[in-house]
Amino acid sequence: MTAMIFTRVLAAGPEATSTAARILQDGGLVAFPTETVYGLGADATNAAAVARLYAAKGRPRFNPLIAHVPDAAAACGLGRFDGAARTLASAFWPGPLTLVVPKAEGCPVSDLATAGLDTLALRVPDHPVAVAILAACGRPVVAPSANRSGHVSPTTAAHVVGDLAGRIDLVVDGGATPVGVESTIVACLGGTPRLLRPGGVPKEALEAALGGLVADPPAPTTDPGPGLVPDAGPIAPGMLSSHYAPRAFLRLRAAAVSPGEALLAFGPTLPPGAEGALAVLNLSERGDLAEAAARLFAHLRALDASGASVIAVAPIPRHGLGAAIADRLARAAAPRG
């Protein structure tokens, strides 16, 4: 149990930026928006701050974290980039892509932040509030999604406050996050780059930039069920299968809705039985996957709050951002453990 602390909430702006930077430099915890989801930041070079971050999230174990920096130049000082990593960084940074690369010699990121690995996950976010805070802080900032461990990732400041008030120092409110699912994680460790987590940059776009194939996630440790994106296994130990669990049970690829269920719809046509649903929210009436990703976590939270014990989820295409959406839904539907 961590002691309760007072959590300030500031609207994004110059005062919030300098307050956030000072708190981070002093070893405190600040939640801020990125283009994907809200992150909970701590000074990556300060092991005590990183330990506080794990405690605030209630993480069951020390998973490696992503170090966030304001630009590619800062990233290049922390890790060793091969040709593929350089290509991906110049094509997608700033943006929703995390690169796992070998740690550079003398890299100041604490071993606690990387869980003792000799590799480092690096990201340059594409959000003016995040970039301003990172630049003002002047140190790499680790930032997992700003939710309690096992909860749905936050896409608004209100989600963060609901999960973490009393446990962190500051929330910087910069409105809803535009992408809505976390960054795509790619390991560039020599040889073929490997996708570790589908996310805001579709795999098709990675392969187009590289002019070659990206390897799929490592073999699953447990079978996630037919057609589901598997858990990434030991190489990305943070990817616990039930990472995004709402309270309600999720019924995926539902062809019809049963009375009393909530419905998470997609596209212009609602499935049979929708009129008897307890609550209906549509990820995208026009069937747009980017809009669906941006709405995913907020809609899951809202349907969970409807009190339905089952959320029926309409079928969603798997291409482009659909792969990240399918991954997060599979995790939300996974048995709790």
Contact residues: ligand TXA, CB under 6 A? 34, 36-37, 39, 63-66, 98, 100, 114, 117, 119-121, 123, 143-145, 182-183, 185, 196-197, 235-239
236 binds, among ligand TXA, Mg ion, none (CB under 5 to 8 A by kind): ligand TXA
Report the chain's terminal Cα–Cα distance, integer Å: 21
Binding partner of 123, given ligand TXA, Mg ion, none, CB within 5-8 angstroms per partner class = ligand TXA
Instruction: Kindly indicate which of the ranges 61-69, 82-90, 140-148, 168-176 contains the residues binding Mg ion, using the contact rule CB under 5 A.
Output: 140-148
Show the tokens assigned to 314: 């309409």
Residue 191, both tokens: 């040889």
- Selected from 19, 87, 119, 145, the binder of Mg ion by CB under 5 A is 145
CB 308 within 8 A of CB 262: yes
Smaller CB distance to ligand TXA: residue 101 or 308? 101
**Binding partner at 136 among Mg ion, ligand TXA, none, C-beta below 5 to 8 Å by kind:** none
Q: Is 301 helix (H, G, I), strand (E, B) or coil?
A: helix
> Out of ligand TXA, Mg ion, none, which partner does residue 19 contact, by CB within 5 to 8 A per kind?
none
DSSP 241: T
Q: Which of 50/314 has CB closer to Mg ion?
A: 50
Closest to ligand TXA by CB, 128 vs 271, is: 128
| Contact present, 170 and 31 (Cβ < 8 Å) | yes
Piece of the chain touching Mg ion by CB under 5 A; list 145-153, 251-259, 269-277, 292-300: 145-153
Rounded Cα distance between 253 and 285, Å, is 17
**Smallest gap, in angstroms, from Cβ of residue 250 to ligand TXA?**
20
The binding track of 216-255 with respect to Mg ion, each residue x by CB under 5 A or -, is ----------------------------------------
Handedness of CA 30, 31, 32, 35 (dihedral sign): positive
For strand 141-142 and strand 66-68, is the pairing parallel, antiparallel, or unpaired? Answer: antiparallel
Q: Where do the DSSP E strands lie in 174-316?
A: 184-187, 194-197, 249-251, 262-265, 279-282, 310-313
DSSP 45: T
Task: List contacts with Mg ion (CB under 5 A).
Answer: 145
